[in-house]
Structure 1
């Protein structure tokens, strides 16, 4: 197979356009920084992102390269199918829950990041602990979506995948480095448009290819493989529910989400954009579903791909670029590749900005260098952008295992960070003792439940734990159980410890976390933080 020159030129043109928009947006960011707080502009866009841009960037953040590639793969896989496509429903559920419950309390205190309320309530040490799973998850996500682009490029362009990883990463790092949130949200607009149009242009050609059977027929009848609608066996109901709750609830506790929420001009706008983006997640998965259905309905022996099938070759994860390459004309596959590149970059920049914001503000400014000037914090954020982006780029070469690693980190966020966020926002008087016990108990339980991605077999065998193909599988929804245990332990230990100290059943000198003294200090700290943010607000908003 020769180098696909038209596709290469189209991708380079798209990259140039994206970089140009990012640089243009960085100029707007610099103008706003001159008139207001530089950190606030870089992290949350000065809280001036309008409704349309907010809708585009929130949707593009979730609908990324891993999303469209992974959705097509699930629908195509025999034994899975549409019935197991939980990501769109889970993300939509998370966004709706976020709009109903989380937007108002986060915006009412003018926070800059998701870690702010946790840092107020539980202190700097717990912030550092909670920062670790959030940071690793962001870096792994960045790496995973770069790897998804590499697979598409290697199929369609027939060039080394490492080139696409390096070029894509350099472009994302460059415009994120100089423009902050504004560069990210404005490039998200063009990326989402490219992705939607590019995929929909390809769909008719793939569906009507002579090698493809009617997808309505193959949805329920076996032709080349099992029907692509799929089914949920009764013994796997627990896993299905567990994964859906993990995707829904776990997707809330991410800085990339709250960065959009906190950047909106008003609280009402933040709620509306979040809710509409939930609908967008459901609608924009349709092209991927159709690609997966087409792949499951194709006689690959009649295509240039030949036999064995992608599934038999172990290439199911690349099914979307394979369909674009072998079931569409050349000029159409070029457009499709642009769509994949757009989807990848729309999520990669968000993950990079998320992690650098948490490090620059919550770790560097509020823990390592409390006297640091805004200029120094901005430098720290830029350095962290380069370091974290470089680390994720290196990890992207581990494409065979990076998805499992990202999924594992996401589960840690679900088990450890989500309960902490719920407690600090909705359960009064939870304290550092409860936070510490909840964190470590949740961490241990999650490890003992087993992790296939790092070859840790289950030590705790929950109900219905079954030996399948030589390995034990947890059929019980243990991820959600672990999250609930973490939540319950945090609340119980917080209230019991406070009661014991107040009643002097435990000597007050043992109160190493200063829970009793911290009640007054916490109130004072919240007042000071609110004052800090209000002083740097360009415009006050009604809550």
Structure 2
């Protein structure tokens, strides 16, 4: 396929615009760790709401919405609705509390409650999920650029990753937040522009889908449907990429309000790809220039969005809409890179490996992580075929294993390492042993109503695994707290040193450090903010930038 030169030039111009905006925004403040991770906690309502929405509206959100609408109907397109409900819960319940405490990352409360090393263990699942998420969206973008303008996929993926890495490397959250604003605008304009051309194309006849666009849920699949919806909802809550923006907001109430406004943006940007998916399902592909096999294969349906843009729109419009897809991908890729780099630099390097590291040293560890994560995601995107399946599994594990940990870290008074470790093990085992259709993992545990023919769980076992993980953390934490505090078991058996501070002579420097490692953060953002924010919230919440 020959390269469409005009389209290539358009994409290059778009990338240059994003890169320049990212680099300029990154020069706003100093290159300190606080600036890199949290934009000096100075984001206002306008920028924070846009960047919060951009963490949701990525390449998978847009392409996935189009594909699901086209193949399964609206009622089965649970991810956008579920994620936004989860975002609302996070904004109303989690965000104000987390911001009020003045943490640096969402793994700070996990390390405070369960210990520094246990907090690092809990990060592993999110690390893997983030890298596969990055690989999945980069791979999808590469396939789209190859399809529409004939650009080699390797070049497309590597270039896209490099742009996101460069401005994140130099500007941290400032660069990511301000480029998110531009990217979100590009997404809306590009996809909306394509709609009139799509629906006026002679190949599109909506009467073909008028009886099936809404979709159906078979009665025997209600359990698994509820399972998916609930897991998607709660699995979207514990991600660092979301709390990075929350913790960068000026006040707790602004973090809440920005989250709720971002939901309006996100749901609005669900509509154009949903309509494009509907058009793809109702199109007569024989009447287009499409030369592939018919009926469309499963792979074609997964790429229905770029196919519609390519075959049902004029070339110029396709290129503009492709810019919207590029924007969606980069708005997700930079969030992933930033989130992982911040946690590694803060919660692993500073809190565990080098407690006395200088600010400059932490910033450079962050930057090295940015490059490393960008490179790993790129390599996986170019070499692994079933990235999406691994991403789905990691998303499930975030809900099953990570969400209960966050709930207990924030609200469980006696939570400890023993409860956290056992809760994680129980949740992971129940989820993995339940099998997975996408990855072809055979079920070891057959929950009620199991379908052996299709290796499918009908029972909502993921919800059960999540609740069992939560219950295990609570029960084991209370039991170990009771037996050690009441001296039913000698503290010499306290292998995780959770209760050594009960006896002053047994306190070690490392344990003392664990108890105060965030004291400077909390001192800075507790008493002072409690007094000042009540008087200033209303004014700050209405400040745009």
Check whether TM > 0.5: yes
> 1:281 offset after TM fit, Å?
1.9
- Which residues in structure 2 correspond to 1:83-102 (within 5 Å)? 83-102=75-94
In structure 2, relative to structure 1, the CA distance for the partners of 1:87 and 1:398 (3 Å cut) is farther
| Equivalent pair of 2:99/2:255 in contact (CA under 8 Å) | no
Moved more, 525-534 or 407-416: 525-534
8 Å CA contact retained: 1:433, 1:493 = yes
Report the CA distance between 1:273 and its aligned residue: 0.8
CA shift for structure 1 position 532: 3.7
Q: Rate the CA distance shift 1:199–1:310 in 2: closer, same or farther, 3 A.
A: farther
Asked if structure 2 preserves the Cα contact closer than 8 Å seen for 1:61 and 1:350, the reply is yes
Matched, 1:463 2:448: yes
Q: In the alignment, what sits opposite 1:4?
A: 4
Report the TM-score, using the length of structure 1 for normalisation: 0.93
Partner of 2:540: none
Q: CA deviation at 1:268?
A: 1.0
Contact 1:448–1:459 (CA under 8 A) maintained in structure 2: yes
Report the counterpart of residue 429 of structure 1 in structure 2: 414
| 1:144 counterpart residue number | 136
Structure 1 residue 165 corresponds to structure 2 residue 157 = yes
> What are the Cα deviations for residues 17-67 of structure 1, in whole angstroms up to 9, with x where unaligned?
00000110111133xx4xxxx211111111101110001101111101111
1:375 to 356, 360, 363: 360
Q: Report what 1:259 is aligned to.
A: 244
Q: Please, which of 278, 291, 303 is the counterpart of residue 276 of structure 2?
A: 291
**Displacement, 1:234?**
0.9
Counterpart in 2 of 1:224?
A: none
Q: Shift of residue 528 of structure 1?
A: 5.7
The secondary structure found in structure 1 opposite 2:444 is coil
Corresponding residue for 2:38?
44
- The number of residues matched between the two structures is 525
Give yes or no for the alignment of 1:301 onto 2:298.
no
Alignment of 1:170-185 (within 5 A): 170-185=162-177
Paired position in structure 2 for 1:439: 424
Q: Is the 8 A contact 2:134 2:332 kept in 1?
A: yes
Q: Residues of 2 paired with 1:399 and 1:45: CA distance?
A: 35
Q: Deviations over 1:324-351 (max 9, x none)?
A: 1100111111111111111110111001
CA contact under 8 A between 1:91 and 1:278: conserved in structure 2? no
| SS at structure 1 position matched to 2:385 | helix
Question: What is residue 218 of structure 1 aligned with on the other side?
Answer: 208
Aligned to 1:189: 181
| CA distance in structure 2 between the aligned counterparts of 1:262 and 1:448, rounded to whole angstroms | 36
Task: Using the TM superposition, give the Cα deviation of residue 310 of structure 1 relative to its aligned residue in structure 2, in angstroms.
Answer: 6.3
| CA deviation string 1:476-532 (max 9, x = no partner) | 111111111000001000101111122322222212223333479889966662434
Report the equivalent of 2:97. 105
Contact 2:491 2:500 in 1 (8 A): no
1:497 matched residue in structure 2: 480
How many angstroms apart in 2 are the aligned matches of 1:308 and 1:173? 38
Q: Which sections of structure 2, spanning at least 5 residues, go unmatched?
A: 535-545
2:329 to 344, 348, 360: 344
| Equivalent position to 1:76, from 49, 70, 76 | 70
Give matches, 1:345-424, under 5 Å. 345-398=330-383, 400-424=385-409
For the structure 1 residues 445 and 164, does the alpha-carbon distance in structure 2 shift closer, same or farther, using more than 3 Å as the test? Answer: same
Tell me what 2:533 maps to. Answer: 542
* Partner Cα distance (1:534, 1:129) in 2: 27
Q: Does structure 2 conserve the Cα–Cα contact (< 8 Å) formed by 1:29 and 1:180?
A: no
Structure 1 counterpart SS, 2:303 = helix
Instruction: Work out which of the residue numbers 48, 57, 71 in structure 1 matches 2:51.
Output: 57
Query: Relative to structure 1, is the Cα distance of residues 313 and 350 closer, same or farther in structure 2, using a 3 angstrom cutoff?
Result: closer
The two structures, once aligned, show a CA RMSD in angstroms of: 1.9
Answer whether contact 1:110 1:530 (CA < 8 A) is retained: no
Partner of residue 271 from structure 1, selected from 240, 256, 262: 256
